[in-house]
Structure 1
Amino acid sequence: MTGGRPSGADVVVLVGNPRAGSRTRAVAEAVARALLARTGDSADSVEVLELADIVGVSFGPEPAYGATAGPDPFETVRSARLLVVATPAYKGSYTGLLKVFLDQLEHRQLADVTAVPVAVAASPTHADAAAAALRDLLVELGAQVPAPPLAVRESQLAQADEVAANWADQHAHAFTLHPIART
């Protein structure tokens, strides 16, 4: 599934939680695994980008990089076939950290990417609002979002695998039109 990409992964999990190792990451990885299992793709090439570890903040024209060395995270995101983007809801929307990162991408720069927006919040209303806003942002960047976003309540996080499996069972068919593996 690598197709010669710099990061070596067709599937990228982008975690917008300002705290590394969060439950947001766990649910995002569960979504990637569940979707891959239902589309018949290998989960061996999933790359996780924790913005808490890798992003420096920049409001200028050049991207800022965090302290963690590694492949260019912007190129990794741009070249993903499947991008699972997960965020906790802060004040009813996705995190500022995620917004700052995604604002470094130009309009339609995710045109070759199929994305799954995932939002986590204490209340269903906030989770739905953040998931919808994240979906709109990804579409604005050109990503294909063939299925509804996943809105997860914090009370469901202990069952992240089950929540992800249920979502994937309902929506994996939408990804047959947007294959994950490069051919």
Structure 2
Amino acid sequence: MSDRPSSTPDVVVLVGNPRAGSRTRGVADAVAEALLDRRGGPPSAVLVLELAEIVGVSFGPEPAYGAKTHPDPFTAVRSARLLVVATPTYKGSYTGLLKVFLDQFGHRELAEVVAVPVAVAASPAHAEAAASALRDVLGELGAHVPAPPLAVLESQLTDAHEIATQWADRHSAAIDAQRATVA
């Protein structure tokens, strides 16, 4: 029996872009939608957590405070049955904003979560590096990552829905099978 709160959506999209409403979010939304379209069954609630709106970051003398959000983003991530984590690539890796957020989870704390890492970058090497690093940190936190991460080039963002659809066509069965064993 899972200890997931009943009020937590089945699918959580976590966006690590320091700018809300980014193209990274668009890719993450497209991935979640494509996976849910292939799953069938009753519609799932989707919760989008944009770290730019949640986490307070300051590089000046005054502290920054994140927005008070409901539900609690940490509880939502821990309780997700499917977690889509998307990040732009900064200096060859996922964003520091996402790192700060993920560092709040203990080792194997996401053991009941199936995760899909998504990275966006200007070059293929950076996209692959960030996607791999994100997969590795999610694995360290205990999340199940049954499919390869999705690495999307900035030049392909206008085709995000098509890219997400093709990726989901190849990997949704493995993700659904893992979700069934974690439930």
Where do 1:8-157 residues align within 5 Å? 8-56=8-56, 66-157=66-157
Superposition TM-score, scaled by structure 2 size? 0.89
**SS of 1:83's equivalent?**
strand
| RMSD, matched Cα | 2.2
Where structure 2 has 5 or more consecutive residues not aligned to the other structure, the ranges are 59-63
Summarize the Cα distance change of 1:50–1:6 in structure 2 as closer, same or farther, 3 Å threshold: farther
Does the CA-based 8 Å contact 1:6-1:76 persist in structure 2? no
Between the aligned partners of 2:147 and 2:41, the Cα distance in structure 1 is: 18
Gaps of 5+ in 1: 59-63
Residue identity in the other structure for 1:51? L
Give the percent of matched residue pairs that are identical in Structure 1 and Structure 2. 70
Task: Report the Cα offset of residue 179 of structure 1.
Answer: 2.6
Tell me the amino acid that sits aligned with residue 173 of structure 1.
Answer: A
Amino acid at match of 2:169: D
* Cα offsets for 1:147-166 (capped at 9, x unmatched): 00000000111111000000
TM-score normalised by length of structure 1: 0.89
Does the CA-based 8 Å contact 2:11-2:44 persist in structure 1?
no
Is 1:159 matched up with 2:147? no
**4+ residue runs over 4 A deviation:** 41-44
CA contact (8 A) 1:13 1:28 kept: yes
**Distance in 1 of aligned mates of 2:11 and 2:89:** 23
**3-state SS of 2:179 partner:** coil
Q: State the number of aligned residues.
A: 176
Stretch moving more, 141-150 or 48-57:
48-57
